[in-house]
Amino acid sequence: MVLSIAILLGGLVTAFVLHAIWQWRRLSHVPGPFIAGFSKLWVFWEAIQLRLPAAYEEVGKQYGSLVRVGPNELLTDDPDILRKMMAPRSPYTRGPWYEAFRVDPSRDNVLTLRDDHAHNALRAKILPGYSGKENLSMEGSIETQIAKLIELIETKYLSTKHEYRPMDWGVKAQYFTLDVIGDLAWGQPMGFLEQDDDVFDYIKIAMTSIPAMMVVSTYPLLAKLLQSRFLRTLLPKETDKIGFGALIGIANRVTAARFKPDAPDHHDMLGSFIRHGLNEEAAAAETLVQIIAGSDTSASTIRAVTLYILSNPRVYQKLQAEIDEAIALAKISSPIKDAEGRQLPYLQGVIKEGLRMMPPASGVFFKEVPPEGDTIDGKFIPGGTQVGSNIMAIHRSKRIYGQDAEIYRPERWLEAEGEQLARMNSTVDLIFHSGRFQCPGKGVAWMEFNKIFVELLRRFDFSLVNPAKAAHIRNAGVWIIEDFWVRVSRRNEERSGCM
């Protein structure tokens, strides 16, 4: 008996070692950290420290454009390769990495669906809801929430020479994006701005749940186990009173009401989804992912852009001067329109620099090499290999953005011309992905960005409460920027000249 067990264990160890050697040899021609060729311990360690994007950038600098970061995982910093993988007729498909990001473990959505045919059919049904053609109140809804944010600041957070009322902009920025996407998704904001409170403890729980998702994504089999019917009770569910579960419950209830026989038609995103053929379960899943993915990524960019403005008085002065001039020449309305914001060149540079310096969704988004394999960076890559985006390396590339690519300098977008500018624009657009994987909410996000900075800077002056430690910053697939305290004053009362 003992001998049989020893033989069995010896066989298992031998099989494990042979499999590890075979796996290493399969991609041994691609450089990377040695341990990454045999195990995911390296990537797991970096994930739990919340520094994966930075670690990927570092190994890219050390090993080159195509780098091995796991036994079957590669990263590229070549934008052309990424566009090729995401092209409409590309044979590449989404990898198992995506499955870790199911907010509701019982169902997929447009961001996690891996089957190409099902994904393309779903995108065709939801895209009209993200356009202003069907959702005519989209711009007005964003303006309404900006007005509520301004009212909140004026009511509770304006400082004067005699009174000091600091504001945590990291929190308030997400209150704004949550209420915007709630209003757009199902026609009613969730009350974050009105209550000036973290409704359902959403932000508190999201800031712990999203890092956990990123760690789990390094082991897709672990995600499958957690989402199985045996362990699903440990994950968010619609009966929860707080966090993601509370939002699942709201999405299910709102959607169910829309599917009642006497329910009126609504001109919001959910109404569009229903008109274009989504059933109740799919419609609920899509509205849910809108709330979570749309609010976190937009808030991340708003925080990042603001932080860079606050840290660069020169940028602040030039941006505010551009806004003041546009007002004086009647080039912008009150509130500013999306189309008008797109015509302010320095504003566009400010936003694009924030996007590339701190890409809001900075995961790897692994795609699977087709069965016949492919040649990448001059190397043959066998089918089934997972190839992802080295996002920080891409958006701080000196060959694309110039020798000073690692610093925040909006002027580069005004100085660049012709082919260089086109390449910069097409690369920063990859933040929203491309082809059949382009983010449906790209237009909504840009509409928020083109409005919020102008509406705030035309009214207020901002300054950092603690310039030496402006905020607590981590990265867990999205940038987590906490304790971001600012002082806000009315421009007409205090003209400090810098944020």
pLDDT tens digits in sequence order for the chain, 499 residues long: 666 666 656 665 565 555 566 676 899 999 999 999 999 999 999 998 888 999 999 999 999 999 999 999 999 999 999 999 999 999 999 999 998 888 777 788 898 999 999 999 999 999 998 887 777 789 999 999 999 999 999 999 999 999 999 999 999 999 999 999 999 988 889 999 999 999 888 888 888 788 888 888 888 888 778 777 766 676 777 778 777 778 788 888 889 999 998 888 888 899 999 999 999 999 988 888 888 788 989 999 999 999 999 999 999 999 999 999 999 999 999 999 999 999 999 999 999 999 999 999 999 999 999 999 999 999 999 999 999 999 999 999 999 999 999 999 999 999 999 999 999 999 999 999 999 999 999 999 999 999 999 999 999 999 999 999 999 999 888 898 999 999 999 997 554 444 4
* Domains present along the chain, CATH in parentheses: 2-490 (1.10.630.10)
pLDDT score, position 79: 97
pLDDT score, position 496: 41
pLDDT score, position 15: 52
Residue 368 near residue 94, CB atoms below 8 Å: yes
pLDDT score, position 495: 44
Distance CA 453, CA 347 (A): 8
Distance CA 199, CA 179 (A): 11
Structure tokens, 152: 């909140």
Q: What is the dihedral of CA 444, 445, 446, 452, to 10 degrees?
A: 110
* CB-count burial class (<10 Å; 0-12, 13-18, 19+) for 146: buried
Distance CA 359, CA 478 (A): 8
Nearest to 300 by CA among 169, 209, 184, 388: 169
Distance CA 44, CA 416 (A): 39
Q: Around Cβ 248, how many Cβ atoms within 10 Å? A: 25
* CB-count burial class (<10 Å; 0-12, 13-18, 19+) for 59: buried
pLDDT score, position 211: 82
What's this model's pTM, rounded to 2 decimal places? 0.92
In Å, how far are 1, 14, 17, 143, 430 from 9, measured between CA atoms? 12, 8, 12, 66, 48
Residue 43 near residue 72, CB atoms below 8 Å: no
Nearest to 405 by CA among 427, 389, 422, 382: 427
For residues 329-355, one letter each, b for 16 or more C-beta atoms within 10 angstroms of the residue's C-beta and e for the rest, the string is eeebeebbbbebbeebebbbbbbbbbb
Counting other chains too, the contacts that 162-167 makes at CB distance below 8 Å and 24 or more residues apart are 164/487, 165/488, 166/465, 166/485, 166/486, 166/487, 167/485, 167/486, 167/487, 167/488
In Å, how far are 202, 216, 363 from 178, measured between CA atoms? 10, 25, 21
